[in-house]
Amino acid sequence: MNSIVLDRVDECIMGVVSKSEKPLTIYKIAKEAGISWATVNTHCYKLKSQGVLNDTAFESGIGRKSVFWSPASRNMTLDKFV
């Protein structure tokens, strides 16, 4: 059985994403959490691989892809991961 281990950065990211009413981009998560974009990007993909976050990609008309992140479950609490 795989146990999910969250570090302080993961907890901060999950706090920001969980409080938001709508999915957020890496940039918005990084800005609200006060963490670098690259760090948030790495941790979001880590959390996705653990089934904690979901991503949704949208392509604009000019070819740019935007990825939006949301919790895998709206009822998720950090208690079960810590």
| Residues 37 and 30: beta-carbon distance below 8 Å | yes
Say which residue, 4 or 36, is predicted with more confidence. 36
Once rounded to an integer, what is the mean pLDDT over residues 8-14? 95
| Global model pTM greater than 0.85 | no
The DSSP H or E segment spanning 30 is: helix 26-33
Q: Specify the pLDDT at position 77.
A: 52
Q: Specify the pLDDT at position 64.
A: 80
26 three-state secondary structure: helix
Is residue 1 included in any domain, yes or no? no
Residue environment code for 4-26, b if the CB has 16+ CB neighbours within 10 A, otherwise e: eebeeebebbbebbeeeeebbeb
Task: Report residue 18's pLDDT band, with 50, 70 and 90 as the boundaries.
Answer: very high
Domain of residue 29 covers: 8-74
Is residue 21 included in any domain, yes or no? yes
What's the CATH code of the domain at 31?
Answer: 1.10.10.10
Say which residue, 73 or 54, is predicted with more confidence. 54
How many domains are there within the chain? 1
